[in-house]
Amino acid sequence: MLLKILGWLWVITGMLFFIKPEWLRKRLQKKSMKKIKRIFFGIALVLGILLIKATWGMSGLFPKIVMIIGVIAILKAFFFLKAKAADRVIGWFIEQPIQFFRIWAGVQIALGAFILFVK
């Protein structure tokens, strides 16, 4: 049940960011780096857990690859909190054109749909 709710949350926020990508950029510019690091930590942690939960018990090569990506996302989340490179990544992310944010939103929608329709 929680997996379905989180999947719908990913799809809805992805659609919001697809429709209004400049809103996401403005929010990132207004927040401090410390808050953004915490937000990215939470997103990466939840993403990793969702990917592992969605593919747990499935057979085949693709679910195993997705599960490995989930484990990497969880590990990366913990390294992201204290890294100086995180400041550069966030700065790079803010400087990207609006089209980049739309593509990112499309990936988020696809990931949410994958989570919804896996089980």
DSSP string, the chain: -HHHHHHHHHHHHHHHHHH-HHHHHHHHHHS-HHHHHHHHHHHHHHHHHHHHHHHTT--SHHHHHHHHHHHHHHHHHHHHTT-HHHHHHHHHHHHS-HHHHHHHHHHHHHHHHHHHHH-
Tens digits of per-residue pLDDT, 60-102? Answer: 888 888 888 888 888 877 777 666 767 777 778 778 888 888 8
pTM over 0.75: no
Answer yes or no: is pLDDT of 32 > 70. Answer: no
Q: What is the structure's pLDDT at 84?
A: 72
